[in-house]
Amino acid sequence: MFSKLSGNIAEQLIENGTVDVENKEIYVYGIEQLFILIMNIVTTLIIGLCFGMLWQSIIFMLIYLPLRSFAGGYHASTVLRCYVVGIILSVIFLSINKCIPDASTIIIAMTVIASLIILLLAPVETSNKPLDQLELSMYKKRTRIILLSDICIITILLAFDLNSIALCIGVALMVLSFMVVLGKRINSKIIN
């Protein structure tokens, strides 16, 4: 999707002496991933605006993206599928936030269930990105640190009766736990 543009930018970086020619493929890939991330963020913000839930979309990304990068989960086989899945997740997240009351008991239950799933199953590796023992250990540790931070934030928000924000974080954790379960199931089928 962005490969030609990424290639042109990498060529420019090589011509300027910023990067070495032997690392061109790595830079093309990295630049392409950056464009995809930007496109997904912009789309999520637009969807949030359409739902009248911009701040909720921002919270979703702030919670979901860092945790997802270490916890892993389902990965689509193409960039287009990844983009579509991202749109679907944003719509699901916003719809759930509109439908679920922001009662403390619901938020706590969601957070506990999602956290247990993430703690038990993450990190989820893929066939494209298998992890060695050191990486598994590091990803697991980082997942736990980020998750614990999110739980602390939810606790503080609930203590100050900021339930609508806590609900957003709880729902983001539920969406991530779903992606972790889905990734674990699909990857186990591929491996077996």
- How sure is the predictor about 109, in pLDDT bands with cuts at 50, 70 and 90? very high
Q: What is the pLDDT of residue 118?
A: 98
Q: What is the pLDDT of residue 33?
A: 86
Q: What is the pLDDT of residue 189?
A: 67
Q: What is the mean pLDDT of residues 42-47?
A: 96
What pLDDT, in 10s, does the model give residues 55-104? Answer: 999 999 999 999 999 999 998 888 889 889 999 999 999 999 999 998 99
Q: What is the pLDDT of residue 17?
A: 80
pTM of the entire predicted model: 0.89
Q: Which of 17-21, 116-120, 121-125, 184-188 has the highest mean pLDDT?
A: 116-120
Question: Above 60 in pLDDT, residue 34?
Answer: yes
- How many whole angstroms separate alpha carbon 24 and alpha carbon 11? 8
Q: What is the mean pLDDT of residues 33-54?
A: 94
What pLDDT, in 10s, does the model give residues 112-164? Answer: 999 999 999 999 987 777 888 999 999 999 999 999 999 999 999 999 999 99
Q: Which two tokens stand for residue 147?
A: 């998750």
Query: Between these two residues, 10 and 150, which has the higher pLDDT value?
Result: 150
Which residues touch 127 (CB under 8 Å, ≥6 apart)? 187, 190, 191
Query: Between these two residues, 21 and 112, which has the higher pLDDT value?
Result: 112
The beta-strand segments (E) located in the chain are none
Q: What is the pLDDT of residue 191?
A: 55
Pick from 23, 129, 46: which is nearest to 31 by CA?
23
- How sure is the predictor about 190, in pLDDT bands with cuts at 50, 70 and 90? low
- How sure is the predictor about 18, in pLDDT bands with cuts at 50, 70 and 90? confident
A 10 A CB-CB count for 148 gives 12
